[in-house]
Every structure is written in structure tokens, then in C-alpha cells.
Amino acid sequence: MIELADSVASTSGILKYARECDSEEIIVGTEVGIIHRLHKENPDKKFYPASPRAICPNMKLTNLEKVLWALEDMAPRIEVPLEVAWGARRAIDKMLAVR
């Protein structure tokens, strides 16, 4: 599938590609949850999932109530080696810097 794609990107890259490309119809080869956001941000374009079964059950477990609980209780606590933590911090800083 990657060899056939016009673009291979992260979630933010997919959103940017959809916004900037001239195509009116786009096949999206990632978790189907992004389709709703693509439609919302690009109402003049049509998006099709490469597979309607591309559903990530772990992504569906997170909701606003659970995020609020985690932020209020600072739980669950996850400990990782310092070098992993620094790499993760850099990635999060980059994500937050994107506007």
C-alpha cells in the first residue's frame, strides 16, 4: 500500500496533505476515526477509508472523562528510563508546537 500512496504521513501530515492537495477524493489508509475530522476540515472533499475495518480498539478506549481523571489524579503513573522520557518529551514538545 505504501508504494501506491501519493503521501505517507503522520496524522498531522495526513490532515495537511488533505488540506493542500488538489484532489477532490482521497483514499485514507489509516485508522478510520480520522475520516470524520477530514470531512469536517475539508467539506468540499470526499474521503474513503482504505479498509472500513481499520479500527484501533485502544484508541477507542480513551475519552474525555478518562483524560480528566488522569490529569486530576495524575494516574496511572508510568515510569520509563530517563533516555526514553527525554525522547518522548521532545516528541510531545514538537506536537504542541505545531499550529
Higher pLDDT, 2 or 11: 11
Its pTM stands at 0.62
Asked which of 11-20, 21-30, 58-67 is least confident by mean pLDDT, the reply is 58-67
Q: How far apart, in whole angstroms, are the C-alpha atoms of residue 45 and residue 47?
A: 7
- The answer to whether the CB of 50 falls within 8 A of the CB of 27 is yes
Domain count, the chain: 1
Which residues lie below 8 Å from residue 59, measured CB to CB, with a gap of 6+?
31, 33
Q: What is the pLDDT of residue 13?
A: 93
- Residues facing 49 on adjacent strands: 28
> Where in the sequence is the domain holding 38, given as residue range(s)?
2-97
- Residues facing 28 on adjacent strands: 49
Q: What is the pLDDT of residue 5?
A: 87
Q: What is the pLDDT of residue 77?
A: 86
Q: Tens digits of per-residue pLDDT, 28-82? A: 999 999 999 999 999 999 999 999 898 888 888 889 999 999 999 988 888 999 9
- The answer to whether the CB of 73 falls within 8 A of the CB of 66 is no
Q: What is the pLDDT of residue 99?
A: 61
What's the burial of 14, exposed, middle or buried (CB within 10 Å: 0-12/13-18/19+)? buried
Q: What is the mean pLDDT of residues 80-95?
A: 92
Higher pLDDT, 18 or 98: 18
What's 11's domain CATH number? 3.40.50
